[in-house]
């Protein structure tokens, strides 16, 4: 067969088409064009929205194992917390039942002893619930504004407490609201009693950043330890006795000073509380103070004798 009659073109199997560089340039230009068109004219937004709707069931199915695992973990965790809370509540109820029995017995004994010694009955104050509206605007004081005032029977110097202990006292009464100065205010002081030793003292608001109390004028050799509980002593005639005030958290005894530096953490929730109890001050139930007559001058006495 003559060579001129042979077909010199390669078969279709070996045809390569455009070169790799040409494909790279073409698709690169197409990608840049699509990105610019998407940024400028949002041409791919409908396509993206349609694809997201189409693949949403697939995504939902793919997320089910993770959601089930998360739900199972939260359920088990909440179940454990509920069981621990129920156990703790049961223990508290048993302890409170025991204490209630002891309190009833002690109350009866106290009543009998007071009747035997012909002592006056202990004073009890009535109270009502109020809601905290907001904190005072002054950043250098620690005060609250409650939604009860003169119209509700709030009196100046009335003690304010929550379910844990003393919060402070009313320092300003308005017709529809009142201002409460917290025990952590630097201008506030409250007589306290160490429930472990029976020692009395005065707790002042700490002027530092943390909401603390400072038990001042306690000697360096005073019997006070970290963890001692402080309650109201009732000697001021304002706060009812026996209400929790704070817990001693730090005791510093220095050789160069005669008094120890004692810091206490308030028991009441002085930050973030929503509802409080306003108690009538004990001054309304106490007898009036005796009037002390002023001594007369010596000259007047001699002149009267003459």
Q: What is the pLDDT of residue 276?
A: 93
pLDDT at 284: 64
pLDDT of res. 112? 78
Question: Tell me, what's the pLDDT at 20?
Answer: 81
pLDDT level of residue 254 (50, 70, 90 thresholds)? confident
Say if CB 286 and CB 250 are below 8 A apart.
no
Question: What value does the mean pLDDT take over residues 2-25?
Answer: 66
Residue 48: its pLDDT value, please? Answer: 76
Residue 4: pLDDT band with limits 50, 70, 90? low
262: closest CA among 200, 219, 305, 306? 219
Cα–Cα distance measured from residue 59 to residue 52, given in angstroms and rounded to the nearest whole number:
9
| β-bridge partners, 143 | 181
102 or 25, higher pLDDT? 25
| Average pLDDT score over residue span 129-141 | 86
Lowest mean pLDDT among 29-33, 125-129, 276-280: 125-129
pTM for the predicted model, two decimal places: 0.58
pLDDT over 90 (residue 225): yes
Let me know if 213 is exposed, middle or buried by CB neighbors in 10 A (0-12, 13-18, 19+).
buried
Nearest CA among 134, 155, 276, 267 for reference residue 212: 267
Per-residue confidence at 306, pLDDT binned at 50, 70, 90? very low
State what percent of residues in the chain have pLDDT above 90. 30
Domain locations in the chain?
Answer: 37-121, 127-284
Superfamily of domain 127-284: Rod shape-determining protein MreC, domain 1 (2.40.10.340)
Outline where the chain has alpha helix (H). Answer: 20-41, 45-117, 298-305
204 neighbors 191 (Cβ within 8 angstroms)? no
Mean pLDDT confidence for 190-210: 89
């Amino acid at each position: 067969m003559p060579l001129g009659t042979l077909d010199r073109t390669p078969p279709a199997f070996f045809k390569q088409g455009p070169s790799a560089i040409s494909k790279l340039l073409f698709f690169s230009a197409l990608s840049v064009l699509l990105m610019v068109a998407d940024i400028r004219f949002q041409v791919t937004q409908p396509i993206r929205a349609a694809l997201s709707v189409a693949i949403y069931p697939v995504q939902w199915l793919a997320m089910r194992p993770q959601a089930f695992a998360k739900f199972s973990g939260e359920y088990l965790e909440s179940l454990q917390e509920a069981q621990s809370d129920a156990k703790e509540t049961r223990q508290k109820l048993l302890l409170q039942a025991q204490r209630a029995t002891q309190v009833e017995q002690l109350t009866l004994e106290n009543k009998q002893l007071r009747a035997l010694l012909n002592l006056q009955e202990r004073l009890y104050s009535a109270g009502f619930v109020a809601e905290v509206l907001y904190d005072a605007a002054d950043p250098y004081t620690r005060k609250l504004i409650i939604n009860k005032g003169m119209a509700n029977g709030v009196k100046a110097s009335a003690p304010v407490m929550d379910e844990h202990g003393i919060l402070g006292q009313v320092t300003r009464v308005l017709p529809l609201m009142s201002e409460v100065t917290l025990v952590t205010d630097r201008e506030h002081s409250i007589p306290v009693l160490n429930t472990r030793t029976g020692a009395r003292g005065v707790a002042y608001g700490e002027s530092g950043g943390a909401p603390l109390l400072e038990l001042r004028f306690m000697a360096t050799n005073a019997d006070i330890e970290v963890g001692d509980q402080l309650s109201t002593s009732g000697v001021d005639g304002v706060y009812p006795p026996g209400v929790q005030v704070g817990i001693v958290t730090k005791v510093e005894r220095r050789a160069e000073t005669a008094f120890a530096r004692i810091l206490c953490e308030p028991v009441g929730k002085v930050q973030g509380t929503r509802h409080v109890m306003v108690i009538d001050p004990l001054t309304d139930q106490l007898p009036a103070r005796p009037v002390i007559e002023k001594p007369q001058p010596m000259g007047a006495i001699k002149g009267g004798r003459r």
